[in-house]
Structures are given as C-alpha cells and as structure tokens.
Structure 1
Amino acid sequence: MKGSPLISAKQLGQGYGSRIVFRALDLELQPGVTALLGPNGAGKTTLLQTLATVLPPRQGQLTIDGRVVVSEADARLARRRIGFLPQQFGYEPGMRVRDFVQYGAWIRGLPTREWAEASTIALEYVGLADEAASKMGRLSGGMRQRAAIAWAIVGKPDFVVLDEPTVGLDPQQRLRFRDIIVGLDDTTVLLSTHLIDDVDAICDRVVIMHEGRICFEGLTEDLKALDDPSIPGYTPLERAYMSLLPQEGSNR
C-alpha cells in the first residue's frame, strides 16, 4: 500500500493502575480491513480503545492522519474521523433507531446540521431505512447490531474500529455483516474477532496479539503461508493462526 498510514502507533504503552497491558507496541494501519486476532486477555480491547482515543496512551506516540494525539483537544478532533463500536454498546430500549444513530453523530462531534442526512445515509447503507422510526428495544439482535454499525459509520469516518461485532449473529446475519464491511471503500477498518472464517472472507491484513505483544502483522495470504498441518485446525488460516500461539502442554 502506498502513502502514509492513517493510524500510526510507536512504542505505545497502556495499562490500568499497576497492571501493564502492553508496552512498546508499534502498529500502522492503512485503508482496507485489518483483523485483530488473539486469545482472551491478549490486550485487544485495550488496544482498540487506545487507538480510538477512548484511553490516552500511557507511553509512546499515537498519530492519526499525520497529527500526533497529545492532548484531549487533539483526541476530540481525531474522534470526528473515528467510528468506534465496542462489544458491549449501550442504548435506551425506547430510543428510536434514527435518534440512536444521530446520537452517534453527536458523540463524534459532527455539526448538528449534518445529523439527519448522515443518519439517513448510514441507515440506508446497513439496510435499516425502513426501521428508522422503530424503537431499539423492538429490533431483532441482528437488526440491532446493524443499527450499531450505522452508529459507528455515521458521517463516513475514515477509521472504523469494531470490537467483536458478529458475536451472537447467525450465519445469514454474519454474511450480511461481511457485505456491509466490504462495502466501506477507502475506509481503514480494524476488526477484532475470534471468527477465523470472517477474517478469511473479508480481511486484507491480520494483526495477532498475545500477552500484550504483536506476534504477527501482515497480509492475510502471508499468514496462510504459515499453515502447519501438524497443528489442530480446519483451514490453512486457522492452523497458521494457532501455530503462532503457545499450545497447551507446550513451553513455547
């Protein structure tokens, strides 16, 4: 890929109290869909929150589109270009879908005059235009997840961060989700997931974390090339991913 990365992290460190989640982490992200893989406790959610400017870095430097995020004012400016969907997102059951998405526009700092049109565009994109007046609590799980994606992409942010967005979705809903993500042209998408088949289907690149460090960063096809038939798994990508993690009973 050509040009400067939209997101650049150098020697990034993060933690909670005395606990260190990761330190000295380097990462660059450019347009396309990048998967973030790793076992529970690897530090993925903390990294997503840091890159989305929800958590200020404890150490190192975070640069978004050439601008180093140093202050809260820098973070507020950066958030206008970032759509972040946490795994557990909150909503009022009685809130109408269009208001929920417009709330996302407000969170990101979009001008008030743009809320209505931006929300309409986002809902049309995820196929929920007909549900704009429906209440969030009356939506099915899959529809609610699509509303959440509309919340994250309202106003067409340059960087979209999704933390386990397909948890609980059935196969048909996951296929629809894939179509939505693939259609985000020229957007830098960072997708945290445990579902390797989703990665294989829609992701250009893969970042693998384990115990607070990055143990692989590269093209999805390059990860597949590490396929080891002796490792448990059902696909080349799954076996390659597992080969980079310590196996049970191993000292590696």
Structure 2
Amino acid sequence: MNLKVENVSYRLGKKVLLDNVSLSLQERERVAIIGPNGSGKSTLLRLICGLNKPTQGEVLLAGRCVHRYPRRRLAQSLAFVQQKANTEDIVRAEEAVSLGRTPWIKPFEAWSEYHQGFVEKALLQVDMQDKRHQYWHTLSGGEQQRLHIARALAQNTPFIVMDEPTNHLDIKQQLGVLSLIHHIERTMLVAVHDLNHAMRFDRVIVLKDGGVVAQGAPETLITEALIKEVFEVESRVIKSMGFASNVQLIA
C-alpha cells in the first residue's frame, strides 16, 4: 500500500509544527524517520494516521485522503504503534492483542478460530506467548510495548506506522523488534531515535524544524556532515563490508 504526503503543514495556534512536508512510500518499503526532538516526527505520524488534520496539504493512502476513509476502513488499512501503550482497563495480555481484530469483526459476529489465529501468530512474533494470561498492569514497560506491536500485527493491515517502538525496550528487545520489522512484509514507516537503528531500513527521511531536509538510502545519506548539520553533534561513521554502517557519537 503506497502513501503520499503532499505539501502538508500543521500549525498549533501560531506555532508551526510542520512546514510544507512532502514524501512518499512505495508498497512493501520500510522507511525510517529520524530527526532531533521537536523536529515534527510524532506530529507527522499522527497526521498520516488521521488523528489530526493538516492545516494545509493532504495525506493520501492508496490514492485516497485519510480523512475521507470511514474509521473502520482506515483501521483495516493502517495500524499505529505509539511510543508508549497505556490502558486503565483491567485486561490480560492476550485480550490486549485481541483488540487488533476489532476493525475486522462484523456486528453480532462471534469470536472465532479465524480471528484467534491472528492473535496466536502475533504473540509468537513478539515472543510473548508465555505472558498471555498476565494482567496488563503487571507487565514491564518493555513487555507492554511488545504487546502493543503484537496488537498492530494482529490487526493485519498492509501499512504499519510506528513511533519509536524501541524507546522503552532493553537492548535485546530492541534488536528483536528491529529484526521483526525487517521481516514484516508490509509497508512500514517508523520513527526511530537511534541512528544505528535507522541503518537497517530501506530508506531514511530526515526532519528538522518541521521540514524534510534530506532523504535517501541510509548507507549514503547518514554521514558525519549530516549528523553535524541536523543533530549538532560530532560523530564518526564506520563502514564495514557486509555489515550496516555504525555511527559513533563523539562527546
């Protein structure tokens, strides 16, 4: 499923959060968004998911403006994994993942093995089968985030948006999520905080001060000069044959 963001701006009062942003994703492409805090990453993702409406411009999903989709149809097309998953409800882990099937269940339709199959597969993908009966509030932040990703997988949409999905995970879980993203055969747009994580995507889009300043293949785009310009820090980019480049920040 392809995506186009055409000349999108977003203002909150007098503050400009996004300014004339244009970008596109092709079907099955995995794209990372990077940029310093306040660059507009989360704002852009919320506009793409239809949670906010642009001040100007359009977000087109499969050629149709996201705000013209019925909510149920949009939820069948796009899943959103936010930075941190919270709920006040007393639910078990498996029940939280089952919520991903909500857009696909018809009125008066009973839960079936068909829907349960998506839940089972999603729990397996995030390695949370053994926690399925635990209550949400008893799980760690990292475990909750893995279940949030599982819910998006159970939703079985062709397009998945993630806002820094590894932000609350330990190193092992981060690598597991990145490996999972690499093997998911869907269109994916993922905001990432770690530049080394961005190296594992097909393409990178760089935001700064609400605008797109660069985009391209990570191996050629992420350079010491770009990191200095965008993040205002010194770095060393180490290239190695057969492996993704490694970014080392210099204090």
TM-score normalised by the chain length of structure 1: 0.82
What amino acid maps onto 2:202 in structure 1? D
Q: Is the 8 A contact 1:81 1:159 kept in 2?
A: yes
224, 229, 233: which one aligns with 2:235 = 233
Task: Please say if residues 64 and 78 of structure 1, whose CA atoms lie closer than 8 Å, have aligned partners that are also in contact.
Answer: no
Compared with structure 1, are the counterparts of its residues 64 and 96 closer, same or farther at alpha carbon in structure 2 (3 Å cutoff)? same
Percent identity, please: 26
CA distance in 1, matches of 2:188, 2:4: 14
- Cα deviations by residue, 1:115-144 (Å, 9 ceiling, x for unpaired): 433222211221112322221122233322
Aligned to 1:20, which of 16, 30, 37?
A: 16
TM-score of the superposed pair, with normalisation by structure 2: 0.82
The alpha-carbon distance between structure 1 residues 84 and 104, as it changes in their structure 2 partners (threshold 3 A), is same
Q: Deviations over 1:46-66 (max 9, x none)?
A: 000001111122211211012
User: CA–CA distance in 1 between the matches of 2:42 and 2:59?
Assistant: 16
Instruction: Give the corresponding residue for 2:100.
Output: 104
Unaligned runs of 5+ residues in structure 1 are: 243-252
Question: Post-superposition shift, 1:159?
Answer: 1.3
Which residue number corresponds to residue 68 of structure 2?
A: 71
Give the drift of 1:239. Answer: 6.8
Query: Which residue of structure 2 aligns with residue 126 of structure 1?
Result: 126
Taking a change above 3 Å as real, the CA distance of residues 130 and 229 of structure 1, as seen in their structure-2 partners, is: closer
- How do 1:128-167 residues align onto structure 2 when only pairs under 5 Å count? 128-167=128-167
Alpha carbon RMSD of aligned pairs, Å? 2.6
Distance in 2 (CA, whole Å) between partners of 1:196 and 1:181 is 16
Shift of 1:216: 0.7
Q: In the alignment, which residue of structure 2 is the partner of 1:184?
A: 184
Per-residue CA deviations over 1:16-53 (Å, capped at 9, x if unaligned) read 23322113211101223211111111111100000111
